[in-house]
Structure 1
Amino acid sequence: MNKLYLRNQLCIPVIGFNRAIIYDLGRKDYHFISKKHYHILNTDGFVNFTRIADQSERSELIDFLLSLEIIFEVASAQEKKRFPKISRALHQTNELTHAVIHTNISNNFIDLIDQNHLQNLSIISPQIDDELINLVASFAQLEIDGIYLYIEKFDAESLEKYELKLARQPILFSVNFFGVDSSHTELKDNIYYNFFTESFGQYQQLLSVDKLFVNQAFFLEAYNKHSYYNGKIYIDQSGNIKNGLNSKQAFGNINSMSVDEFQQTINSKLFLEPGNINKNQTLVCQHCEFRYMCTDVRVPEKEAEQWFHQVECVYNPYISKWNNEEGYLNLKESGVTVSASGCTINKDKLSKTFNKIWSE
C-alpha cells in the first residue's frame, strides 16, 4: 500500500523560469527544487509521488522533503480534513502602513498621520544629531510600531556621543549606517545597529540576496500586492508626497495640505495604483522564483497589457544568475528583450547561453 503524504501548508512551492523554490514560511527559509518536482508538490491534496518513475529519485526526494518537514505522512485518507488549506488572502486594515521621511520634515506631518497606525516609520538623516533625536521623540505618542533610522554616513564619534539618547527612545527599532568597512549587525539596548559597506544611495537602489525575506506576512503581501509600494508613502526633502524613494511623480505637498486633503490623496486610486501591482502582472518578475520574497524598489511602468521596468534587475531569472556571480549576463545578452510592447525570448539563443553557463 502506498504511503499518504501531505505538504506542509506553510511550505509553498513557487515556480520560476528554470527552477522552483519551496518557501518555508514557518522557518523563514527556502529550498530550490526542480520544475518537475514543483508540479508534483503544487497540490493541496495528497502528493502523488508515483509520477516519478525512477524509484531511486522518488525515494531520495521523499527523504529530502521529510527531513525538512516540507511533507508529512498521514495514516489514512480521512486525516486530510484535519489539515485544511491556508488562505493566501491579504487582510489589511489600513491603506497606509509605512512612511519614509527626512529629518527636515514639517511639523504638519505629525497632524497629517495622526489618524493612521504605522507599522514602521523610516527616517533618513545625514548624521546623528540633536535634531534627529528630537524628531524621534516627537513621534512617541503616535501609533507607530517601530522607527528605523537610516544614517547616510557613519561616524563612530557621533554614535558614541548619542548612543545613550538613542537607547532612551523605546519606539526605536533599528539604526542603519552606510559606508563602513565591513557589514555586520549588533544588538544593544533592544536596538539593532546595522552596518553596511555600500553607500545609502547604492543601498536604496539595488536588490541583493540579503534583501530577500521569507516569512508569512511578507509572502501574503507580495502574493497579493507590491511588497515595496503597498501601504508606503515617501515625503521628500521639499515635502512632496510620493509612492517611494525612486518615484518621480508627486501627489501634492504636505506643507500646504489639510488632514482631509492628505487622507483623500493617499487613498486615491492613482496614489494606490503602484501598491496594487502584482508581480505576476510584471514582465520578467513573473518568471522569477524569488518574486514573493523580493523587495523591489524600481518604479514600474505600464504602456501595454503588463507592467515592466526600465531599469533591469540584478537577478536574471532566465539564466538563474545574480550580477555578482560568475557567468552572469544581462537580459539582452541572454536573448531576452523587454520593452513597453512586451517580452520577447529568443529561445534558441537563451538555451545555448544557459547550457554554456551551467556546463562550465
Structure 2
Amino acid sequence: MSKSFSLLCAFALFSAPAFSDTEQSSELQLEKKIVRKSPTIKPAFSPFTGKIKGEKVRVRLQPDLDGHIVKELKEQDLVAVTDYEGDYWCITAPEGIHAYVFRSFILDDVVEGSRVNVRLEPDLEAPVIAHLNTGDPIEGEISPANKKWLEIDPPKQARFYIAKEFIQNVGGPEYKIQMEKRKIAVQSQIDQAQELVTAATRAPFEEINFDKLKESFQTVVNNYADFTDKVLLAKEGLVAVQELYLNKRIAYLEARASVASASMDKIENANKPIQSGHRLALWEPLEEALYLSWARSHEERGLDEYYDEERLSATHLSGALEAFISPVKNKPGDYVLKEENHPVAYLYSTKIDLGEYVGKKVTLIGSERPSNHFAFPTYFVHNIE
C-alpha cells in the first residue's frame, strides 16, 4: 500500500510542470493571434464654402443613402462645409430649414430639461436633429402649423450631410458670407427697379425717366453675373421697360396727332392757309407711333428699314390730287385723290409736299393707313412718279 502511494506521488510531481508549460504556451499563441490596433486619428479639417454640382442634390440627416432627406438643393447653391464623415460632407443647416421644440420645455426663452429633442417638423414623429439642455437660451415663434411647438433656427450642433461628389470647394468660410451679402444687395436692386417700373406705369409719358429705369436693371446684369437667376429677372425687366416705353410713346404720339388734327381743323374752319411744312409735321406723331408698333416685333430695327418694308407691299395709285378742305373732325388725310371727279383715296405724307401737286394728275406709291371710318381708304405717300 505504501509503495503504491509513493509511486502515485512521484507521478504527480513529474506531471505538474508539463501541464503548466502547455497552458503557458497556449496563452502565448493566443496573444500572437490578437492584432492590437492603434487608435484612428482623424486628419485635421479646414471648413470651406461648397458649391452644389447638379440639380436636386439631396441633403440628409445621416451620412448614408438611408439617411432622412431634408430637402433638395439646386446647382450653384452655396453651403458651409464644417466637417466630413466617410463619403459625405457635413454642412450647416441649408437656407429655409426650420427646427421645432415642444413649448412645454421652454420657460422665459430658456430651455428647462435635459436632452430636449429638437425636431425637423412640429410633430412627435418627426426626425430629431439635435438636443438642448437646461439653461440653453432659445428664440423663436409659435409654429403656425401647431401652436404646441416653437419654431426656431436649427441649433449649431445640428448636422446635415451631402455626398462629397456633389460639392465643389470654392473658397473659405468667408466666401459664403460675402456671397450672402451680395445676394441681399442684388435682391434689393431688383426690388427697387421693379418699384420704379410700377410707378412708371401710372405716370404720364413725359414724366418717365426711361434711362433710369433701364439703368436700374442693367446694373444687375453688369455687376451680378454670378447670380444667374437674378440676371434673368433683370433681363426680363429690361424687356418690360422697353414694352412700357413703346406703349406709353405710342399713346403719347397718338394723343399728339389727335390734338394736331383738331388744331388743323380749327385753322381750316377759320379759312386760314396752312403752310406745307406744318402739314407734314402734323402727321409725324402718327407715323412714329406706327413705326414703334412695328419695331416691337422687328427687333427694334430702324425707321428707314420700316419704310423700306412698307414700300415692298405698297400700292400704285393714279388720279387727280386735290386738297381735302372739308370741315370735319379726325380727317384721315390732307388731300384727296380723284378719278373722273370721284374720290378714291385720302392722302398724307411726311416725306413729300403734296401741296405742290394739287390740281395735277399723278401716279404715286402709298401704304395704307387707318381711315378713321371714312368712306375711302387712306394712304401714306412714299413718292410720286
Greater length-normalized contact order (CA 8 Å, ≥ 6 residues apart): 1
Q: TM class, shorter-chain normalised?
A: under 0.3
Q: TM-score by structure 2 length?
A: 0.19
TM-score by length of 1: 0.20
The structure with more radius of gyration = 2
